[in-house]
Copies of this chain bind each other. A is one copy, B any other.
Amino acid sequence: MSDRPGFPTSIGTSNTTSITLLGHDLAGELMGKVGFAELAYWLMTLRRPTPGELRVFETVLVTLADHGFTPTAIAARLTYVSAPEALQGAVAAGLLGGGSRFLGVTEDAGRFLAAALREAQRQPQSDAEFDEMARVAVARCRDEKRLVPGLGHPVHKDGDPRTPVLIRIATEAGQHGPHLRLFEAIGRVHPEILGRTLPLNGAGVCGAALADAGLPPELLRGVALLARTAGLLGHLAEEMRRPVARAIYDAVDRNVDYIAPEG
């Protein structure tokens, strides 16, 4: 009897003459025949997406790729200027900001919606039933003094422009499922429970749409990270062409107020 450990995988392997990815010959069956976003979906789920799922997935990746000079983009640029020989470090530094506050909302929203649906005795069918489920979920957040994931935005206070567009695309693609319906219901009922009207934000609608498009909730932050990698590369390419990180550093440095600690 062998005590050979054995590490099972279904991702990739190779031998002298071929490379296998997801059970397919990379050179003969995948290169030129599958798109990059399609492959990313497949890698994460071990299932090739349907055209409708792919359309939503690709739209979400585009939606989340960048949002300007975010803290993560600034961190990536500052890291690049300090260690320009190691681009991977600058990308990694940018991704490390992909936690609860910024990129985490997509996953939080997906998990929140999935949990509400999973706990229900029976799945809601009508809008009225989704509204009722939404009322319970929002009220529980209020009672536990938690924010409702996907609700509210510091800038787009009167409506996030991404939200209706993604809902429309998901609908056209036949991917308007229970997570998006529950998310929309939250948009309808939360004012009566919270006493104020907040927008359904873009990160949240992305989480809902990804869940309807077949991505497991625990991978949604990963989708956001993939999207953001493209955005960070955009910032780093721009930093190479027209640097600003040093000017940012100087602007900070010039405005430091030193307060000597006691002792």
Contacts and interface: CB of A to CB of B under 8 A. Distances in A.
Contacts of A44: 233-234, 237
A99 B223 CA distance: 21
Interface in A153-201: 155-159, 161-162, 164-166, 169
Interface in A23-37: 23, 25-28, 30-32, 34-37
A223 B237 CA distance: 11
Contacts of A66: 11-12, 21, 43
B65 A7 contact: no
Given A14-B155, A61-B36, A103-B88, A8 B257 contact: yes
Interface of A: 4-23, 25-28, 30-32, 34-37, 39-40, 43-48, 55, 58-59, 61-63, 65-75, 78-79, 81-93, 95-104, 155-159, 161-162, 164-166, 169, 202, 216, 218-219, 221-223, 225-227, 229-231, 233-238, 240, 242, 244-245, 247-253, 255-263
